[in-house]
Structures are given as C-alpha cells and as structure tokens.
Structure 1
Amino acid sequence: MAMLNKPISIEWDLSYNCNFSCIHCRNSASTNIKFLPLSYYKSIIRKVSVLGAEFLTIGGGEPLLYPRIAELIRYGSSLGFKCRILSNGWFITESLVEKLKANDLWGIMISIDGIGKTHDRIRGVKGAFKRAVNAIKLLVRHKINVVVGMTLNSLNYKQIEEVIKLCHGLRVKNFGARPMIAIGRGCTNSALDLSSLQHKQLLTEIYRLKQKYKNKISIKSGDPLFNILDKDRRIFAENRIMVFGGCDIGIATLRIDPCGNVTACPALPNLILGNIFKQNPKEIWQKNTTLELFRYKSQLQGKCGNCKFKYICGGCRARANSNNNILGADTKCWLNVIETA
C-alpha cells in the first residue's frame, strides 16, 4: 500500500474556544480561551502549505468565534488551499456568508446531532437546532458546499434517518456520520457510548440508508468498521488485495492542534508526532514512524492484526487505545475469530 506523497487535507484546530458545551466534545472546549495574534495563525497556514495539500479544514472549538476568520480563509486560499470550516452554525448570518464567500471559502460542515430538542440537549444550548438549520439554508442559497455531520450516541442514533431526510429537504448533497468516541467531555458522559451490538446495528443502518438515498444524498461514515459492511470493499478483502480503507491517519490527512503540534488523530490528542514550528512538516509526513505503523497496518495486533479485513478497515486506533494498546483490537468490533479469518 503506497503512501500518498502529500496529504489531501490539513485538519487544523484553530482554537478550543467555543460557545457550545457539547456533551461529546473531544476537546472539552469552552469560552475561557483567548485567541492569538493573526500573524501566529498565518504562520501555521504558511508552514503547512509546503505539504501541498488540497484542503485546509479549520475546526476547533468554533472557528467562527474568531473575528478575523475571513482573513485566514483569504490567506489560505492565496497559498493554494481550498478552505473549509467546521461549525455549529450559530454565528452564520447573511452578511457573514457573503463575507466568507467573498474571501474564497470553499465549503463548510454544519453539525446536526438530532432533531429539535435532541440536538439542543447534546449541544448544550437552547435554540441550537433552529440556528443550525437556518445556517444551512443560507449556505445552500449562496451555493457554498455544505456537508452535514452527525456524531452518534445513545440519545440520537435512532434519529439518523430523520436527520438525513431533513438534509435532503434542505438540498444538502453530503452527509457524514460516525459514533462518538469517549474522550474529552465524552469521558464524563460515558453512558452515551454505544455497545458493540448497538454499534453494529447503527453502522448496518447507515449502510442501508446509503443505498436507499443513493440518488438523493451522498452518505458516508468515517468509522473504519463501516467498510466491513460495504460489499464492494469486501471483495478486496476476500481476495486478500491490499487497498486503503478505514482510518485515514497518515494517508489522507495530517492534523494540527492550536499549538502547532502534529497529532495522529483528533481522538488521540496526546499522541504528538512533532511540531511544525520545530520540524519540517514534510519530514513528519514522510518519516514519522508512528504514522508508518498506522499507514501500513502490518503491525496491528490481536483480532485486528489477524483479520482479513484489516486493509479495508484496520479498526479505530483511538478505541483500541482505550485498552492501553494502540495497535490492538478495536473494542467495538463485533466480528468473531472465524469471521475475521
């Protein structure tokens, strides 16, 4: 399996400053964090631009809290990036959309974690659902690429088709969903975590919905286990063909935290691979031994290491790490030893 000579996307957390208090937040984001100077943020964009990635995806926190976000979008675009934002939608207004569009915003992902009060409860803010829906309407009207993302847990996983129907009605073309991982604030809300059986039922339902709505809206899941259910990808596994599938750590994305640290995964914030202010990002991408472990999957252990699906799935390394073995078995995998052989 060949490594891409450059990532497709740089995933950058601008800041952990946020106006919401989502019960699953991986960063335990809050409003108590100050922004740094514009020059600092520009220096991060400039340093990662040497990688030649197509996309710069700016998350957080809530990046639209930063008053000079449009300038960052403009700067990233001037360096060749297609700039995207991950947002809760609260601050999106007609004038802001026009400003972002004028500064070459390529796309935006808005989170919808359920219908009505369910979304508000998960996001910790009354009225969040209404504001998110209004934001989507504005973005679609202004012809900005919109993706709706849904983080699934025990409160909302049965509402996924309702959310997909809502997205289709709003003329959204792309929808992505994956179960929460119990890190950050999610650790204190572990009752939200799905069981292995619920996990299987959920991913099976997402696959069913993908087929049902295939001519209406594109439906994806970032969960590696989802690929086990994909009949087209299973063909590769059954014939022992080595192809990329599953987690995109070190293959399609490189992630940067607000301090310039390169991290393997947003769900593994303490696994720091380097820092762009101290090392050349190209060297980290090309030579980091931890990224190589994740890329090639040859050193996976336990059930994942012996599984015939490891090159289309490989399991979630963050979930494996919850058992103190980052190369071990994915704790949510429902397959038995016979099914993986």
Structure 2
Amino acid sequence: MYGAQEAQEARNSNRLLAIRLETNTSCNLHCRYCYAQSGEDSVKIADFNALKRIISEAKELGIKSVVVIGGGEPTLYPNFRELIAYIDSLGIVPMIFSNTVLMTEELAEFLYGHNASVMGKLDSLKPEVQDYLAGREGAFEDIKTGLENLIKAGFSNPAEPGKLRLGISFVSNKMNLEEIEEIWHFCRQNNIFPNMEILTPTGRANDELEDKLLTADEIKKVQIKTAGYRPKILRVRLASLHPDYCKRLSSASLQPVHQYRRKRPACAPTKLDEHPALRINGGYPYNVNRMSLKEIYNSELFTYVRNIDRVLEGRCGNCENIGECIGCRGYAYSVGINNGIDPLKALRMECQQCFK
C-alpha cells in the first residue's frame, strides 16, 4: 500500500502507482456479497496477450505493482502462473487477491518465489458463518488450509518489520460484527495484514444480504474499536489519495496494491461502466480495446476521479484530515446511485462510514 504523500506526488506528476487486473469472472465460491456476481457459471476470460500489453502500457506510466484480483477467483485463470511470472520479470510486484481455496503448498511456494503478496479472505472464525457468506459448504476448511499453506511458504515472515506479504480481507456485516476484534487480533498475532471492509450495497449483496448491512451506529462502533489498534495518526478512517483508488492505511503495510478493470471505473464498487449517464453514443468508452491506458488515464472522467479530494462535499470537504483521507468513495458512490443521485455527485458525497 502507498502512503498519502506518495500517492499525492504520483497524482500530481500524472503517474500511476499500480493497476488492477480482472482476469476471469469464474469462481469456485458464491460469496453473497460479491460485487461482480462471479461464480462457477461465469466464463469471461481475459486474453493473456491483451493483459501483457496493458501491463506494458502501465509500466510506461510508472507502476510499481499489479493487483491480480480476478473479478472471480484469479487462480482459476488459465494463464495465472504465466501472468505472475511476467509481472515479476518486469520488476513489478504481483499482488494477488484470492479466496485461497486452491492454494496448495506448491502454488504458495511459486508465488513466494515470484515476489508476490497475497490477500486472502476470512470473514469469520466460525465455519457455519464463513460457509454461509461464501455460499458453499466446506468453504471455511478450504480457506483455512490455503492460508496455512501460505504461512508455511513464508508469507507471514516479513523481511523487515511492517513489510507484510500476507493479508486477510474480511467484510464486516451483522453476521460477523462481534468477531471483528477477534479476527483483527488473529491477523496481528500471525503477521497478517487485516483488511477490514464494510458490506457495500452493490452486486449480489443487494439481493442476498440486504438485511445484513450495518447501520451507521454499527459502522461507527467497529471503526472506533479497530482504530484503537492503530497508531495515533491513523485514528480516523484513512484512505490513500492515489489516482482512482481509496483504501485504508494501517500500522503495517502490504507490498503495494492498486486496481484495474478492462472497463475502468474508479474502484470496484463504483461500476461507472454500468451507469447510463457515463456512456457516449450508447457505450462506455473507457475500454482498453478502444483506447490506450494512457488515454483513459488522461480522460476528463478519470482526471476528475483522481482529483476528487478537491471537490468533496459535506464533512469530507471540510475535514482537517483531507490530506490523508478521502473516505470510502466506493461506498459513497453505491449509496448515492441506489438513491438515484448523479454518478459524479455520488463520487464526491461525504463518507458514509466516517465515525468523526
């Protein structure tokens, strides 16, 4: 992850720090909160040569890392290992988001040897809760085995303090709310980066977990609780100002992470490509099959997005922490769009998760 200063410097010099690749929409789980609604019946697969071209274009823009998030489960991508090896060969850090179900000892060793970082998932320490949220019986045991293989390969042994290569992402909701503190401590005790997310009203969550969304008071409670475990300077919900991305900071950091989609939105939950107001002549133009990555990056829409800190509204616009935090733009966007608000206005709405 990148600090706010580095992110701002990159933005101001018109340089990318990282991109995010969605390689395939197929998945061996059916997570009830999935923004992409991926699953076993989803078969979209990105062309490997196209991905190499995109990475090459991104390298020219200065990237340091590539997030391979799949869209589904990236380890199912037919050219997964070739992709990781290619990223590593360019001196770029591969950052893998995986449910770890297919994470064998041999695959974990391969990723470790290619300088990858891995963000796994663990939404609950209770098998029945994890299985329900993942949409498949036995998911907990498979996830647990995969995480154990990553630890065995050395991912929880940082080369230096604070430079972690293994993280766990957990989506906070009414089913696991009382476990968040325990999951957080589990991560810290095992040199694992805790990546806490808040259940966002988008994708499959709107249909399957509508009653599991946290209230404003519940979000405040969990944010205050976890803030107590971070350095004083980070005791607000922090987010990087890196172009097109928002994320939390913590006392430890993974090797750099960021994002990219073939149809490029500001961050995964925003889904700008699906909003009719942002289409030109009936289509969403910011597609790497029609424009270069540099053209997309310098377009009016994405110039607006990566300068969103200058037009934030409400408490965010007047916040003394704006140099380090822009709140969660994805959550604000999802809530705004669901209430019929214009997409550009939704992007600049005040953070719906801030406990200040």
Deviations 1:187-237 (A, max 9, x none): 1122121111111111001112336xx9xxxxxxxxxxx95637xx8xxxx
Please give the alpha-carbon distance, in whole angstroms, between the structure 2 residues aligned to 1:319 and 1:296: 14
Please give the alpha-carbon distance, in whole angstroms, between the structure 2 residues aligned to 1:135 and 1:74: 21
Q: What is the percentage of aligned positions where both structures have the same residue?
A: 23
Which residue of structure 2 aligns with residue 126 of structure 1?
137
Which residue of structure 1 aligns with residue 22 of structure 2?
13
Deviates more, 1:4-13 or 1:154-163: 4-13
Deviations 1:222-281 (A, max 9, x none): xxxx95637xx8xxxxxxxxxxx5564436876322xx2222111111256722333332
* Match runs of 1:81-160 below 5 Å: 81-102=92-113, 104-116=114-126, 117-144=128-155, 145-160=165-180
SS in 2 for 1:132: helix
Which amino acid in the other structure matches residue 76 of structure 2? L
Which residue of structure 1 aligns with residue 327 of structure 2?
315
Which residue of structure 2 aligns with residue 239 of structure 1?
none
Which amino acid in the other structure matches residue 332 of structure 2? A
Please give the alpha-carbon distance, in whole angstroms, between the structure 1 residues aligned to 2:318 and 2:188: 40
More strand by share: 1
Q: 1:205 to 1:248 in 2, by over 3 A?
A: farther
Which residue of structure 1 aligns with residue 201 of structure 2?
182
How far is the alpha carbon of 1:67 from its aligned partner?
Answer: 3.2
* Match runs of 1:276-287 below 5 Å: 276-286=288-298
Which residue of structure 2 aligns with residue 50 of structure 1?
60
Which residue of structure 1 aligns with residue 192 of structure 2?
173
Deviations 1:17-56 (A, max 9, x none): 1111111111111122333443333333333332221111
Please give the alpha-carbon distance, in whole angstroms, between the structure 2 residues aligned to 1:26 and 1:9: 21
Please give the alpha-carbon distance, in whole angstroms, between the structure 2 residues aligned to 1:285 and 1:19: 33
TM-score w.r.t. structure 1 length? 0.79
Please give the alpha-carbon distance, in whole angstroms, between the structure 1 residues aligned to 2:183 and 2:259: 28
Q: Is the 8 A contact 1:7 1:254 kept in 2?
A: no
Q: 1:164 to 1:228 in 2, by over 3 A?
A: closer
SS in 2 for 1:209: coil
* Match runs of 1:247-286 below 5 Å: 248-250=242-244, 255-257=259-261, 260-271=262-273, 274-286=286-298
Count of paired positions: 305
Q: Is the 8 A contact 1:249 1:265 kept in 2?
A: no
SS in 2 for 1:297: helix
Which amino acid in the other structure matches residue 114 of structure 1? S
Which residue of structure 1 aligns with residue 236 of structure 2?
229
Please give the alpha-carbon distance, in whole angstroms, between the structure 1 residues aligned to 2:54 and 2:26: 18
Q: Which runs of 5+ in 1 are unaligned?
A: 215-225, 234-244, 336-341
How far is the alpha carbon of 1:124 from its aligned partner?
Answer: 1.1
Please give the alpha-carbon distance, in whole angstroms, between the structure 1 residues aligned to 2:137 and 2:104: 18
RMSD: 2.8
Please give the alpha-carbon distance, in whole angstroms, between the structure 2 residues aligned to 1:306 and 1:172: 36
Which of residues 316, 328, 338 in structure 1 aligns to 2:349?
328
Q: 1:9 to 1:246 in 2, by over 3 A?
A: closer
Q: Is the 8 A contact 1:164 1:175 kept in 2?
A: yes
Q: Is the 8 A contact 1:246 1:311 kept in 2?
A: no
Q: Is the 8 A contact 2:35 2:203 kept in 1?
A: yes
Which residue of structure 2 aligns with residue 194 of structure 1?
214
Q: Is the 8 A contact 2:332 2:350 kept in 1?
A: yes
Q: Is the 8 A contact 2:121 2:168 kept in 1?
A: yes
How far is the alpha carbon of 1:295 from its aligned partner?
Answer: 2.5
Please give the alpha-carbon distance, in whole angstroms, between the structure 2 residues aligned to 1:99 and 1:246: 30
Q: 1:273 to 1:296 in 2, by over 3 A?
A: farther
Deviates more, 1:302-311 or 1:175-184: 302-311
Q: 1:227 to 1:167 in 2, by over 3 A?
A: closer
Please give the alpha-carbon distance, in whole angstroms, between the structure 2 residues aligned to 1:16 and 1:43: 20
TM-score w.r.t. structure 2 length? 0.76
